[in-house]
């Protein structure tokens, strides 16, 4: 299973680093610290919200496959499509996104999705142990 999860996890890790670099560049180009801190806090809020929502869908289960939670976070079709749209908007939307606040939207989406995917994979075992969910293989 590591042959499937490993490359996908590395992809999301690379995208987290890439979106962090985008956020750093946006933070440097912010006119003041208040504008910069707002979009960083919004990105962290959405990342945490996606993690809480993702884990809450599995709270009521008594048994789960070993990789069900991991696959939810790294192979979610909706979030992947949303991530690709934000990535394309970041790359090719320079003419459309003319204000500073609009330029932060692709960063917020990309960072929220990629960082929650990485964090969800890392915390999935801990979540299953905390809620006494048995693993099936």
Res 1 pLDDT > 70: no
Residue 134, CA distances (Å) to 35, 60, 70, 75, 137 in order: 45, 12, 15, 22, 10
Mean pLDDT, all residues of the chain = 90
Condensed to tens digits (0 to 9), the pLDDT of residues 68-108 reads 999 999 999 999 999 999 999 988 887 777 777 888 899 99
- Is residue 118 within 8 A of residue 16, CB to CB? The reply is yes
Specify the number of domains making up the chain.
Answer: 1
**Domain boundaries, position 43:** 2-136
Report the alpha-carbon distance of residue 9 to residue 24 in Å, rounded: 22
Task: Say what the pTM is.
Answer: 0.89
């Amino acid at each position: 299973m590591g042959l499937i999860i490993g490359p996908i996890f590395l992809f999301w890790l690379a995208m987290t680093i890439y979106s962090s670099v985008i956020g750093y560049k946006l933070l440097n180009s912010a006119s003041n610290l208040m504008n910069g801190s707002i979009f960083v806090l919004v990105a962290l809020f959405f990342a945490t919200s996606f993690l809480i929502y993702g884990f809450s869908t599995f709270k009521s289960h008594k048994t789960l496959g070993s990789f069900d939670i991991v696959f939810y976070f790294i192979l979610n079709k909706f979030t992947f499509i949303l991530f690709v749209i934000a990535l394309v908007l970041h790359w090719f939307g320079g003419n459309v996104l003319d204000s500073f606040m609009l330029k932060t939207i692709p960063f917020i989406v990309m960072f929220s999705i990629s960082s929650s995917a990485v964090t969800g994979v890392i915390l999935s075992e801990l979540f299953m142990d905390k809620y006494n969910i048995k693993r099936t293989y």
